[in-house]
Structure formats: C-alpha cells, structure tokens
Amino acid sequence: MAQNASPKWITKLQQNNPQFAEMYLSQSEKILKDGAIPAKYKILMTMIVDAITAHADGCFAIGNRARAAGASEAEINEAIEVAYLFGGTPALVTATNALRSEG
C-alpha cells in the first residue's frame, strides 16, 4: 500500500502484530495494483466502500491516493455519485471528504 503516511491503525498493527501487518500490507498492495482493472479504479472502489461505511478520514486519504494514481476530479466526483446511489445521503456526506477544500 504505497501511501505517504500510514493510517494510525496500520501503525498500531505494525507495532503490535508486525507479521500480520506485513501480510495485510502485502495483500493490499497485490490486490490494488494495476491488473485487469487499473489501480486508480480499484482505489476509487475503496473510496466508495469507505463512504458507504461512513469512514470520512478514509475518503479523504483515498481521494488523495486516487489522484496520485491518476484519477481526475471528474472520476472522483463520479465515484461520489456511485457512493450516493448505493449508500444514500449518509454516504454522500462522507464521500465529499474526498474533494479538495477551497480554503
């Protein structure tokens, strides 16, 4: 999982169960890399799941990760629409954390 900073829960896991953390990170990297589905779309899928499960911080981080993988603002906005379609207004509110703030 190539991110600039690990989420707190990953850091905690690495400190307390390093073998399991390594296995998780290895699987995550393998699954989310380019394959039949390009990595940026897989990352946008994870953003949709985080929105539906009300994980605002995850949406923020994953939105930036999607951008780093080449996702456009239009693609992020369409992913937000998908989150809304399947998760309703609560998912819409959470998914907007993936947008860049104006100030």
Mean pLDDT across 4-14: 85
Q: What does the pLDDT look like over 33-48, one tens digit per residue? A: 999 999 999 999 999 9
Does any domain span residue 55?
A: yes
Give me the pLDDT at residue 3, please: 44
Residues 48 and 65 in one domain: yes
- Indicate the number of domains in the chain: 2
Does any domain span residue 24?
A: yes
Does any domain span residue 1?
A: no
Residue 76: exposed, middle, or buried by beta-carbon count in 10 A (0-12, 13-18, 19+)?
buried
CA nearest to 43, candidates 57, 61, 27, 56 = 61
Residues 61 and 25 in one domain: no
Q: What does the pLDDT look like over 46-72, one tens digit per residue? A: 999 999 999 999 999 999 999 999 999
As a whole number, the mean pLDDT across the chain is 91
